[in-house]
Amino acid sequence: MKSKQNVILIGMPGVGKSTVGVLLAKRMGYSFLDTDIYIQTREGEQLQAIINRRGIDYFCRMEESHVLSIACDSHVIATGGSVVYGRKAMAHLKQLGVVIHLDLELAALKERLGNLDSRGVVMVPGQGLDSLYDERQPLYHRYADSTVTCGGLSPDQVVQQLHAVLIR
Domains and CATH numbers, the chain: 6-160 (3.40.50.300)
How far is CA 128 from each of CA 133, 135, 145, rounded to the nearest angstrom? Answer: 9, 11, 28
Rounded-to-integer distance, Cα 108 and Cα 4, Å: 34
Going residue by residue through the chain (168 aa), what tens digit of pLDDT does each one get? 555 689 999 999 989 999 999 999 999 999 999 999 999 999 999 998 999 899 999 999 999 999 999 999 999 999 998 999 999 999 999 999 999 999 999 999 888 876 666 555 777 777 888 999 999 999 999 999 999 999 999 999 999 999 999 987
pLDDT for 155 equals 96
Q: Which of 29, 45, 38, 27 is nearest to 71 (CA)?
A: 38
146-149: strand order across its sheet: 31-34, 75-78, 6-10, 97-103, 146-149
